[in-house]
Every structure is written in structure tokens, then in C-alpha cells.
Amino acid sequence: MEVTADMVKTLRQQSGAGIMECKNALKETKGDIEEAITHLRKKGMAKADKKGDRSTGDGAIGSYIHAGNKIGVLVNLQCETDFVANTDEFRELLKDIAMHIAAAKPRFTSRDDVTPEVMDQEREIFAHQARESGKPDNIIDKIVDGKMSKFYEENCLLDQTFIKDGDLTIQELIKQKIAKLGENITVGAFTRFEISK
């Protein structure tokens, strides 16, 4: 199938990838735009994984105040250079992550930040619930592992589903930006404030 300029333009608008990347993705997927987007996302994730060990010594601090002024977030998003930190793409990512934190209330940045005390407490609660519901001992560990995965998805920022796109986790969103901007990006720290009655 012939890849037309219009097809490349459509894919560029939807994916943000370069012209040649879009053209090649369309060739590989025989002109299927949806498959080409998936192809580009996978490629981007692979590129991002390679950059994951690079030091992030620059970045920016962003904030988000929710309507009504009862919820506020400060977040430190790190990258490798001030050049990337000053791009619109990076600023948009910073704003999106701050807004996500306001809505999704993560307790930790990543699984690595969950303290051993919290992990032990949660595992103990899940095991107790499984025993109380009459589950046999030989499957309790599997049940606890499954519930811990759910715990991470609900409480760890990087594991949470992005509020603006249910197909992406925050980690995947960041990896997309790493692939696009060509630098490693990490969440340094965040604080969420809420005034509740």
C-alpha cells in the first residue's frame, strides 16, 4: 500500500513523531493509523528505557491549584538540561502531572518509595481478609500479590492510570515525552495540599 502525505500528516498530528518515523511506521503497518500509533509508542518506550539511567540534574517546579482553591500541588519534574526544561512539551507534562496528583491523590512516587512498614501492613491486611473469607492457605500468597499490584496502581504515581488518558500510566506518559524530547525525565518529589472539613 502506498503511504500518502495526508496519512503521514494525520499520524504526525496524533503521535507527535517525526515525518520519517511516521512514514516508516505506516509502511510497517500497511497504512493502518491505529497500528502505526501503537508501533510508534512501543518504539518510543524502547528508546525511553535506554535513557532511563541518565542523570537528571535540571528541571522545573510546577504547581496546580484546583478550582475552589481547596486542593493544591507542587511537583518537581527533573530532566537533563535547562533547554528541555524550558520547552512547551516539558511544561505541559509538568502541568499534567500536577493536575493528575491533585485528582488521583497518590501517596508515593513509585513502588520503591513504599516503606517496608506500609508494605508489611498492607500484606498483613490482605492476608487476613483472604483467610477471613475462607480462602485456602495455598492461594493466599497469590491473592496478596494481586491485591498489592492493585495497591500500587492506586497509591503510586508512576503506576496510576493518567486521568486524561485511560490507556496510559503516568510512567508511560513520561516515557513518551522522554522519547520525544530525547532526555531522561523523572519525578523528583511532590506535595499535595487539601483543605477538608
Tell me the pairing of strands 71-79 and 58-65: antiparallel
pLDDT tens, position by position, 76-120: 999 988 899 999 999 999 999 999 999 999 999 999 999 999 999
If one counts every other C-beta atom within 10 angstroms of the C-beta of residue 70, the result is 13
Co-location of 174 and 87 in the same domain: yes
pLDDT tens, position by position, 144-180: 999 999 999 999 999 999 999 988 999 999 988 988 8
List, in sequence order, the alpha helices (H) in 16-114: 19-28, 33-51, 82-85, 88-104
Co-location of 105 and 164 in the same domain: yes
3-state secondary structure of 33: helix
Co-location of 88 and 169 in the same domain: yes
Co-location of 103 and 30 in the same domain: no
Q: In what order do the strands lie in the sheet with 58-65?
A: 58-65, 71-79, 186-194
- Give the range of the structural domain holding residue 183, as residue numbers without chain letter: 58-109+156-194
**Per-residue cell: 54:** 541518565
pLDDT tens, position by position, 109-139: 999 999 999 999 999 999 999 888 888 888 8
pLDDT tens, position by position, 2-49: 888 888 888 777 766 667 778 888 888 888 888 887 877 776 654 555
Co-location of 96 and 162 in the same domain: yes
CATH code where residue 84 lies: 3.30.479.20
Domain count across the chain: 3
- Say if CB 171 and CB 159 are below 8 A apart: yes
- Among the listed residues 97, 96, 90, 99, the one whose alpha carbon sits nearest the alpha carbon of residue 59: 90
Alpha carbons within 13 A on the beta-carbon side of 84: 21
3-state secondary structure of 166: coil
